[in-house]
Each structure stands twice: as C-alpha cells, then as structure tokens.
C-alpha cells in the first residue's frame, strides 16, 4: 500500500509526496502548526477503512516555510541544481531504454521520444509551467483534473520532499501551505479510528522525528551581541525559534573581533560539523578580522560575514579631534548598537548618540570608532524588546528596520553555508 502526504496551497492540491521514508521534511513545521479538523470523507484524495473522521494536518505560510528552508540550508540554488540533475538522469534513462529497444514497435519508440522531448530544459521553464497550471486550477472559468498541477512533478520522482516543497514555495504565489498527514499518521497509529487527541499526539511524535539533528550556529562578537540577536529573533522571526542556535558566551567572557576570529578557528580545528556563521561588527576591527579569516582555509560549512551596511549610518554624528562631524561610519564604527533603531539611539535632546573615534588601525589605515553610551543603549533596547513581546502590536510604532536588516542578512548567510553532513533528521 502506498502512503501519501498531500500538499495544498490555499486549498488547491499541488502534489502528493509518495512513500516518504525520510521524515526530515516535517522539520519545516513546528508543534504550533498542527491542526486536527473534522473533514467530510469525500474531501479526501485517499481513503482507507481505518481512517479517522478527523484529519491531522500541518500548515504555515509560504513566507514562514521559505525562511525555515533557508535556515536549514535548502535554498533556490540547491533546488535548481537538484532539478537539473533529475532531468539529466531521466534523459540518460530514456536514452538507454531506447537503445535497448531496437526491435520495439514504432508506437513505443514514439512514446519515448515524446517523453524525452517534453522534458523541461531549464528549471525556470518548469517553474513557469507549474505557475500556469496553478493559475488555471484557481480560475473559476477553467476546469482541470485534480492532478492538473501535480502532473508537473513527475520529474521529481524520488527527490527529497524538502526540495519539492521548496520548489513549490519558490514558484507559486504566497499563501498557506498545508500538508494532509492522514495516511502517515494512520500508518503510525496503533488505534483503530483514533480520536482527535490521539491524532495530535501521533502527529507531534512524527514532527519530532523530522527535527533537524544539527542546527546552524550563529556566533557574534560577544555575549551582549548574542543577547540582542536572540531577542530580536523572538520579536521579528518567532517562527524560527528552535531553528537557529546562537552560541552563548559566558556573561563575563571578553568579546571582540579578534576573540571571535580565534573562536571560529578553534571550531574549525575541532571539526564542528554544523553549519557555522560568524557575524562580525560592521567596523574597522571586524573588517580586519574578516579579511584575515578569509585567508584561512575554513571548511565549507563555515561562513564569515559582517553586519550589513546600515542606511542610518551613512550620515551619522561622530566626535573626534575636529569636533562633531556627520559622516558615513559603515565599515568604521557600526557595531550592533547602531542597529537598535532610532527610537533607542535618539537621546533626550533628540540627537543621535554619537560615535567616538578611539584609535587608528595601521594595517587598514583607517580609524575605529564606537557609539557612546553602549550600556544604556542596551538597556533601552531590552525595554523595547520586552514591550514588543508583551504586546506585538507595539512593533508598528517601533523602529525595527536595523535589526530586521541584520536578521535577514544572517538568514542569507546561513543559506550560503553548506553543511558537511546531508542529514537533516533531528533528535
């Protein structure tokens, strides 16, 4: 008996994942994404006598799934390569079959030739055809078979379900992605016609089997940087809690760019297999250490980056021998405090907390600076986070532009690192 996991986008059937031995794709969904609903049995695509009257499902927005895919290392470039490999494999298979069928009837040879000619030549062409069929399926004026969209997934036979799901969220419009787990849960459940509570328990157990064994690790310059990143993630990307591990320093540990560089070298020497992303400040010290680290032969699963360029920092007040001067401090003095938002950085006078020039880096031939009053700015940021967690609606009146920029940059960095182990199943 075949087991299917049916995938829907905004209620439209997209593809059935058949006989999936690896449950790692369930790691894209969290416990809060589970729902057990009563559905008419005629709504189901696959029906067995042992089925409950209730349907266990997991659902999330395509934006959420896209973020989780990136964090787990499944990005568009990887999926495109897998698609191209699948097309090549199918072409070779058809060519071998045709070569071995010298005495086959003309009708058989013509069928194989048609299948070979119909293979998509590019991933973008396949995506376009998927979008076309999905749009036809959603049109009130066009009727298609229920498999109208799913037929395009023939080339993905045997592919990693996470890659198939990635191809869906990349190609189709944003919406709600839903997986019907009825057959999978029924297969795992020992009870006949289980009740909704038992279905939820079994579904939660299945999701635990899908949890990533090895989470990506983000390492910053010190304990306060890590605290800021974890807090901002809870506010801006709550759906990624549990998907990223921030390396926790001892609160009394000394931070800094050189310390972070040394830690990354130690991780590499120890053979850390997880994907690791080192995030340096967008300042002179960070630039120097990133330059030195990139000359070091780090493993493929290690990434090195700096905080992104900040628009606010392009004309920022600085204090030096020449007095107060507004200038671009990106790459010179943009530590994580400058990303706290103007609502934190502006003093009672209405002025931005200035950057103080501290010293000259002879190697890079430029100055290093730091914002004045870092401790008080951190306390103000923590109060801002606490308010947002108590009432998420207050974020509409808060300035999160800088921290959102930082976290999006980190997500992009994580999707660019390649894990040394292909396994994604979790404990």
Q: 167-182, pLDDT tens digit by residue?
A: 999 999 999 999 999 8
Nearest-angstrom CA–CA distance, 26 and 30? 8
Cβ pair 68, 105 in contact under 8 A: no
Res. 192: pLDDT tops 90: no
Q: Between these two residues, 306 and 11, which has the higher pLDDT value?
A: 306
pLDDT at 251: 59
Element (H, E) at 231: helix 223-236
pLDDT tens digit sequence for 321-371? 878 899 999 999 999 999 999 999 999 999 999 999 988 888 888 889 999
pLDDT-derived band at 118 (thresholds 50, 70, 90) equals low
pLDDT at 141: 47
Mean pLDDT score of the chain, rounded to an integer?
86
pLDDT at 16: 87
Cβ pair 57, 181 in contact under 8 A: yes
Nearest-angstrom CA–CA distance, 50 and 323? 79
pLDDT at 1: 45
Task: Report how far Cα 380 is from the mean position of its chain's Cα atoms.
Answer: 29
Strand order of the β-sheet with 217-219 is 245-246, 217-219, 276-280, 302-306
Nearest-angstrom CA–CA distance, 231 and 213? 24
> Residues of the chain with pLDDT > 90: what percent?
54
Single out the residue of 14, 13, 60, 74 nearest to residue 177, CA to CA: 60
Res. 289: pLDDT tops 80: yes
Nearest-angstrom CA–CA distance, 297 and 257? 18
* R_g of the chain computed on alpha carbons: 26
Phi (first) and psi of residue 54, to 5 degrees? -110, 150
Res. 419: pLDDT tops 60: no
Res. 102: pLDDT tops 70: no
Res. 253: pLDDT tops 80: no
């Amino acid at each position: 008996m075949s087991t299917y996991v049916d995938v829907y986008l905004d209620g439209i059937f997209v593809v059935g994942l058949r006989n999936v031995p690896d449950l790692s794709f369930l790691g894209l969904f969290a416990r809060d994404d589970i729902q057990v609903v009563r559905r008419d049995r005629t709504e189901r695509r696959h029906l067995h006598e042992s089925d409950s009257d209730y349907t266990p499902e997991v659902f999330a927005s395509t934006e959420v799934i896209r973020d989780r895919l990136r964090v787990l290392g499944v990005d568009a470039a990887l999926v495109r390569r897998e698609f191209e490999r699948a097309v090549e494999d199918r072409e070779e298979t058809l060519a071998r079959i045709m070569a071995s069928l010298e005495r086959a009837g003309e009708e058989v040879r013509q069928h194989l030739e048609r299948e070979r000619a119909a293979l998509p030549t590019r991933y973008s062409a396949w995506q376009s055809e998927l979008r076309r069929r999905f749009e036809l399926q959603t049109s009130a004026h066009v009727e298609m078979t229920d498999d109208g969209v799913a037929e395009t997934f023939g080339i993905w036979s045997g592919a990693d379900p996470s890659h198939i799901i990635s191809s869906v969220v990349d190609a189709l419009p944003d919406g709600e992605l839903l997986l019907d787990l009825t057959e999978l849960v029924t297969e795992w459940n020992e009870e006949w016609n289980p009740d909704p509570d038992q279905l939820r328990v079994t579904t939660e157990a299945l999701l635990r089997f899908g949890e990533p064994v090895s989470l990506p690790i983000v390492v910053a310059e010190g304990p306060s940087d890590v605290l800021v990143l974890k807090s901002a993630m809870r506010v801006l990307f709550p759906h990624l809690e549990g998907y990223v591990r921030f390396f926790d320093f001892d609160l009394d540990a000394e931070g800094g760019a050189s310390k972070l560089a040394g830690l990354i070298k130690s991780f590499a020497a120890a053979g850390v297999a997880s994907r690791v992303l080192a995030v340096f400040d967008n300042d002179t010290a960070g630039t120097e250490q990133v330059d030195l680290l990139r000359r070091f032969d780090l493993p493929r699963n290690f990434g090195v980056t700096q905080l992104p360029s900040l628009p606010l920092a392009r004309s920022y007040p600085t204090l030096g021998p020449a007095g107060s001067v507004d200038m671009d401090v990106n790459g010179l003095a943009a530590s994580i405090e400058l990303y706290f938002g103007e609502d934190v950085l502006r003093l009672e006078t209405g002025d931005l907390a200035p950057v103080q020039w501290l010293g000259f880096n002879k190697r890079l031939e430029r100055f290093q600076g730091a914002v004045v009053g870092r401790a008080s700015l951190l306390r103000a940021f923590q109060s801002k986070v606490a308010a947002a967690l108590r009432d998420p609606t207050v974020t509409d009146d808060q300035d999160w532009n800088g921290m959102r920029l930082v976290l999006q940059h980190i997500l992009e960095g994580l999707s660019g690192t390649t894990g040394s182990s292909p396994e994604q199943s979790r404990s």
